[in-house]
């Protein structure tokens, strides 16, 4: 996706500041820019607009305002660049925890909009990739545990070796055109139904 085809949402209650950001974006080649000045029902409006990236500009945000935007950024799962005029360490840490991709203090200058947006998108993508890899690793670990448990059950009930138990699971999976982990799960479920008090 080229940056010109990105759908950019600018959230800013100050029309003059919003126009600085919009001008910076359009000059940088971003054609699809939507400005939202009214914070009413913001989450719904973001869902309706479905932006690729969000720019939030807050002149003098108080802690409640920042917290509500941090909650929003956790919910929307989009790259977010947030401009604030001043900040403290706690707010910066909270922004990072909330997944704000770029948190810029005292930095609303037209020529900086494009590089900051590119950085926000790149950071967001890197973070999403890490999160996805972590989820995949967790899933693989869970699958491995299920398969090991099913192997253990087969070894006990059939008096076979670990290698034979795995071969049996594998053969059954191939015959039924299913994944080994699905066969393992079925075996564990069936055992728990047959012997609810057992250690299956």
Q: Which domains, ranges and CATH numbers included, belong to the chain?
A: 3-108 (3.40.50.2300), 136-194 (1.10.10.10)
Using one digit for the tens of pLDDT, what is the confidence trace for 141-164? 999 999 999 999 999 999 999 999
* 180 half-sphere exposure, CB direction, 13 A CA radius: 18
Count the Cβ atoms, other than its own, within 10 Å of residue 109.
12
Q: Is the pLDDT of residue 182 over 60?
A: yes
Q: pLDDT digits over 24-79, tens only?
A: 888 888 888 888 887 778 778 888 888 888 888 877 777 777 777 777 777 777 88
User: What mean pLDDT, rounded, does the chain reach?
Assistant: 82
Contact 120, 79 (CB under 8 A): yes
* Across 112-140, average pLDDT: 81
Length of the chain: 200
Provide the 8-state DSSP code for 111.
Answer: G
Please state whether the predicted TM-score (pTM) of the whole model is above 0.75: no
Task: Say which range, 125-129, 153-157, 186-190, has the weakest mean pLDDT.
Answer: 125-129
Residues 6+ apart with CB under 8 A from 100: 70, 73, 80, 81, 82
The whole-number average pLDDT for the span 172-193 is: 91
Q: What are 58's strand-pairing partners?
A: 84
């Amino acid at each position: 996706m080229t940056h010109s085809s990105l759908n950019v949402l600018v959230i800013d209650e100050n029309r003059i500041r919003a126009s600085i950001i919009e001008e910076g974006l359009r000059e940088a080649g971003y054609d699809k820019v939507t400005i939202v000045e009214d914070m009413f029902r913001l989450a719904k409006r973001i869902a309706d607009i479905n932006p690729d990236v969000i720019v939030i500009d807050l002149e003098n945000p108080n802690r409640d305002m920042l917290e509500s935007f941090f909650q929003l950024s956790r919910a929307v799962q989009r790259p977010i660049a947030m401009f604030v005029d001043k900040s403290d360490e706690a707010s910066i840490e909270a922004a990072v925890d909330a997944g704000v991709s770029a948190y810029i203090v005292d930095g609303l200058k037209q020529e900086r909009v494009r590089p900051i947006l590119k950085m926000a998108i790149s950071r967001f993508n890197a973070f999403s990739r890490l999160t996805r890899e972590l989820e995949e690793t967790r899933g693989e670990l869970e699958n491995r545990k299920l398969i090991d448990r099913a192997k253990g059950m087969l070894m006990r009930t059939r008096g076979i070796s670990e290698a034979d138990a795995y071969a049996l699971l594998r053969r059954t999976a191939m015959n039924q055109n299913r994944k080994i982990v699905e066969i393992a799960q079925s075996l564990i479920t069936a055992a728990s139904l047959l012997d609810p008090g057992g250690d299956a």
